[in-house]
Amino acid sequence: MAGDIIQKAFKAAVQYLLLILTLIYLLSGLGITQYQLVEALTLGLLSRNLAFRIHDFLLAPFVVLLLVHVLFGPVTRIYSRFKDRQGLQ
């Protein structure tokens, strides 16, 4: 029972982190292509160079979180089937 709570909390954390990273990734990508608009909307805080650095830096964490998000369901199903066959708890 505690394992289910931990799995749900982990899954929720991954989902929220992926949502935040996706929004930042999109904003920084928009800051690269539409830098005049984004720079004006952010009052000069997000320049084109900073947007490019943020966008470049977030690629690896974004891909890792996306893979964890996509593979979490199949891996837990395989593990639970293996656990049921072995009689483990």
Q: What burial letters (b/e) apply to 12-46, b meaning 16+ CB within 10 Å?
A: eebeeebeebeeebebbbbbbeebeebbeeeeeeb
Find the mean pLDDT for residues 72-79.
83
Q: Find out whether 65 and 21 touch, Cβ atoms under 8 Å.
A: yes
What pLDDT, on the 0 to 100 scale, is given for residue 56?
A: 94
Q: In 10 A of CB 87, how many CB atoms?
A: 6
Q: Find out whether 25 and 62 touch, Cβ atoms under 8 Å.
A: yes
Higher per-residue pLDDT: 21 or 41: 21
Among the ranges given (21-30, 50-59, 73-82), the one the predictor scored with the smallest mean pLDDT:
73-82
